[in-house]
Structure 1
């Protein structure tokens, strides 16, 4: 049976951030922590060993696979900081066009540092992700 890898844990968010080796990435993580918390209205929670998530939703795919995930999240990785939002749509794509220096995948957006991006656009991306996921997966 499938075991979901990304689960909410009781690990301490601040302790995790304090263990980020690069001082600039650590400072950026605190900045992102404040932005995500303020924008989502949710407290930060560790998901797996390295993702800081805000809020949660329960998904069920047509295949029957189901699980829980954060509404929005980030992870200060060694190479780049990963930002996790709902998968792309035209609204997300339009926001990313004005976001600043980044690369992106299906659900992840990667940045080198917070100074490279427009934090107001980041707040819009977070809000768009939360709204989309709460609409797509309303609580039962």
Structure 2
């Protein structure tokens, strides 16, 4: 059976964030990391080489494949921030601001272009979804 490519690592989140370019993305990443840590109550951890995750859960598909992943997470990529959130509907994003979605991800170019209260509510909603489907 194939192994998961994205697994928790011992890499330091602070070192990863310090190296993020451009500077605006690095600053946005620091803000998002603090927000997700506060809302989740979990410390940040690196998942694979570029995802900062909070909490963990065990999943098992009907096919028998199973693994561990972060409950919520994000990646401060060069072009945009990518958020890994679950259980959200299109209507949940109506007041967010500038974003795009695809394959279960939320893409934001700049935090300045979104309503931070709405983003926080999306994160809380995603955490509630995870708690309901993958109790701790």
Same fold (TM over 0.5): yes
- Offset from partner CA, 1:66-89 (integer Å, 9 cap, x none): 11111110101111110110154x
Flag the 1:87–1:135 CA change in 2: closer, same or farther, 3 A: closer
Q: Give the aligned length.
A: 136
Aligned to 1:19: 19
After TM superposition, what 4+ stretches of structure 1 lie above 6 angstroms from structure 2?
none
Q: TM-score, normalised to structure 2's length?
A: 0.95
Shift of residue 123 of structure 1?
1.0
Do structure 1's residue 109 and structure 2's residue 106 form an aligned pair?
A: yes
> Aligned Cα RMSD in Å?
1.1
Do structure 1's residue 94 and structure 2's residue 81 form an aligned pair?
A: no
CA distance in 1, matches of 2:114, 2:127: 20
Asked if the contact 2:9/2:47 (under 8 Å) is kept, the reply is yes
Aligned to 1:124: 121
Asked if the contact 1:57/1:134 (under 8 Å) is kept, the reply is no
Q: TM-score, normalised to structure 1's length?
A: 0.92
